[in-house]
């Protein structure tokens, strides 16, 4: 009984909606959001290192299995009760978006294009998160919001077509699908975090997805094996422990404290950080068109945020 009361009290200290967000919670939400974005900004470069050596399926789904094991241990240590039944559909959406969709699709895409290229397309993630938050929350944004979002998508498509000699590459379609799924997972996870707490959302989503991901991951290992150097395994460890697990503790906590739309603004710096890591960690060269496209995407997303507010 004491454990259950403690858990309820712990949840009760978290804000249940935007109306409960004050100045202090707003600041804390932004801090947690920045920590989450910093953790996620390494994801594309780390995936670019690991995927060619270990395989897209192993990196895309294997990271979720490692993270699910950590999540199960944490839930057992804390003696957590399963979430209410009404939360399971939302957890399934989170799992489909951020546990399966985004990692798997980006793992395949980044075997074909540089991390810097991926950073431009993934720069649409703040807009996708805002759109999905609108859909889930039933809000009605202004036409200028939709116009700015359309401009951002257009900028990415033009960039992709220019890089692909006139037509977007298959990798760009994978990245766009990954962005859409991640935006849905972020928005749904932020909504659930107000009730469950951010760390519980990602833990239960991982545990929910793990049984379904184990067979294809095991088949991929059996067929192709895993032969990577220390750098590839270090990158895989990062995306498993930080990108897929610890980063969401901060990110969903920030969304719950400061609000999905408000805290989601800090994602604006993620493409720029990812470009910097691509240069420092991978030795990639960021040419002027790539840099301009990234800044244009950031600008359109910022305009969309302002219009929505």
Nearest residue to 127 (alpha-carbon basis) of 184, 89, 168: 184
Instruction: At 127, give phi and psi (nearest 5°).
Output: -65, -40
Least confident piece of the model among 7-21, 93-107, 143-157, 178-192: 7-21
Could you give the CA distance from residue 126 to residue 231 in angstroms, rounded to a whole number? 30
pLDDT of 42 above 80? yes
Give the contacts of 131 (CB within 8 A, at least 6 positions apart): 149, 183
Give the pLDDT confidence score for residue 148 in this predicted structure: 74
In 3D, which of 28, 60, 30, 40 has the Cα closest to residue 246? 40
* E strand spans, 16-108: none
Q: What is the mean pLDDT of residues 100-104?
A: 92
Let me know: does 271 contact 39? Beta carbons within 8 Å. Answer: no
Q: Rounded distance, CA 186 to CA 133, Å?
A: 8
Distance of CA 53 to the CA centre of its chain: 23
Indicate if the pLDDT at residue 97 is higher than 90. Answer: yes
Do the beta carbons of residue 5 and residue 223 sit within 8 Å? no
d(CA 55, CA 133): 33
- pLDDT, tens digit, for every residue of 193-239? 888 888 899 999 999 999 999 999 889 888 867 777 889 999 999 99
Cα angle: 21, vertex 9, 129; to 5 degrees: 40
Residue with the larger pLDDT of the pair 243 and 5:
243
Name the residue with higher pLDDT: 78 or 161: 78
- The rounded radius of gyration (Å) of the Cα atoms in the chain is 19
pLDDT exceeds cutoff 80 at 168: no
Instruction: Give 7 or 233, the one with higher predicted confidence.
Output: 233
CB 114 within 8 A of CB 51: no
Domain extent listing, the chain? 21-308
Rounded to whole angstroms, the Cα distance separating 123 from 211 reads: 31
Mean pLDDT calculated for residue range 133-143: 68
pTM for this prediction? 0.78
CB-CB neighbours of 93 under 10 Å: 21
* Segment of 88-97, 110-119, 212-221 carrying the highest mean pLDDT: 88-97
């Amino acid at each position: 009984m004491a454990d259950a009361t403690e858990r309820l009290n712990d949840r009760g200290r978290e804000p249940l909606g935007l109306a409960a967000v004050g100045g202090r919670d707003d600041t804390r939400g932004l801090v947690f959001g920045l920590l989450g974005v910093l953790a996620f900004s390494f994801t594309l470069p780390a995936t670019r290192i690991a995927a060619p050596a270990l395989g897209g399926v192993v990196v895309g789904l294997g990271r979720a299995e490692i993270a699910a094991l950590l999540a199960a241990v944490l839930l057992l240590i804390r003696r957590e009760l399963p979430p209410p039944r009404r939360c399971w559909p939302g957890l399934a959406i989170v799992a489909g978006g951020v546990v399966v969709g985004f990692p798997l699709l980006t793992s395949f895409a980044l075997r074909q294009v540089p991390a810097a290229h991926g950073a431009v397309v993934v720069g649409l993630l703040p807009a996708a998160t805002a759109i999905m938050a609108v859909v889930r929350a039933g809000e009605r944004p202004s036409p200028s919001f939709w116009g700015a979002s359309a401009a951002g998508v257009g900028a990415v498509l033009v960039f992709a077509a220019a890089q692909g000699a006139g037509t977007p590459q298959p990798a760009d379609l994978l990245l766009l699908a990954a962005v859409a799924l991640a935006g849905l997972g972020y928005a749904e996870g932020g909504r659930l975090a107000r009730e469950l707490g951010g760390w519980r959302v990602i833990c239960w989503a991982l545990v929910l997805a793990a049984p379904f991901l184990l067979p294809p991951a095991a088949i991929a290992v059996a067929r192709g094996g895993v032969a990577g150097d220390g750098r590839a395994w270090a990158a895989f460890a990062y995306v498993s422990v930080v990108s897929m697990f610890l980063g969401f503790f901060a990110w969903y906590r920030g969304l719950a404290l400061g609000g999905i739309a408000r805290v989601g603004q800090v994602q604006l710096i993620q493409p720029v950080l990812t470009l910097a890591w691509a240069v420092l960690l991978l030795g990639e060269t960021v040419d002027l068109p790539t840099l301009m496209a990234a800044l244009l995407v950031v600008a359109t997303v910022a305009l969309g945020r302002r219009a929505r507010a």
